[in-house]
Amino acid sequence: MEYHRKTKDFKQVIWHRCSKNNMTGHIIDFEVGYYNLCPKFKRWYKAKYGKNPIGGEVVIGNKNIECQEKWNGKYNKHIGVFGYDLINKNIEDQFDVIVENLVNVMVPYLDFYCDFEKVIDNPRLTIPGGEIDIFSQLRQIEHCLFLGMSEKAETIANSLINNKQFPKTIVNIEPWN
């Protein structure tokens, strides 16, 4: 139920997941999503910090606001939410919407975020609702450290420390070395 593509840094995945409530002839619901995986990052993180990173191998997923804006939510308002229904809704139209989302959102997103440099240089700045995306911006630092770019990690950390919107209560950044 997945389609895979390899890039220099990632295994990119477009996936389909069926509802656990599916029942032949009554309920056939599923969702569609996509992400970049990097097992090397997960292994590095585990070795450095003694635990798996949040999200495991997932480096970047499908939650960027710009993707949500382009997403045709006729059958599912949010990416990665069950909504496609092969029993009660027009199958042809649903697959047209899926193809539209593949062409307009998923493939361009995966094409853009094809390596760590793109992920690091283009973090998600806010989450839906407009609040600062702390996780994405802190993960930039981890990705820099993973790539051995400690100066860039320090520059990003300093920019976050000096950002008035960034919550000061969580800024307890330890030296990278």
The lowest-confidence range among 20-24, 50-54, 87-91 is: 20-24
Find tokens 């996936």 and name the residue: 15
Q: Above 70 in pLDDT, residue 160? A: yes
- pLDDT tens sequence across 54-80: 888 988 876 555 566 788 888 776 555
Report d(CA 141, CA 139) in Å as an integer: 5
Whether the model pTM is above 0.85: no
Q: How far is CA 39 from CA 17, 90, 97, 115, 174, in A?
A: 21, 39, 32, 14, 25
- pLDDT tens sequence across 27-45: 777 888 888 999 999 999 9
Report d(CA 133, CA 126) in Å as an integer: 5
3-class secondary-structure state, position 147: coil
Report d(CA 52, CA 41) in Å as an integer: 10
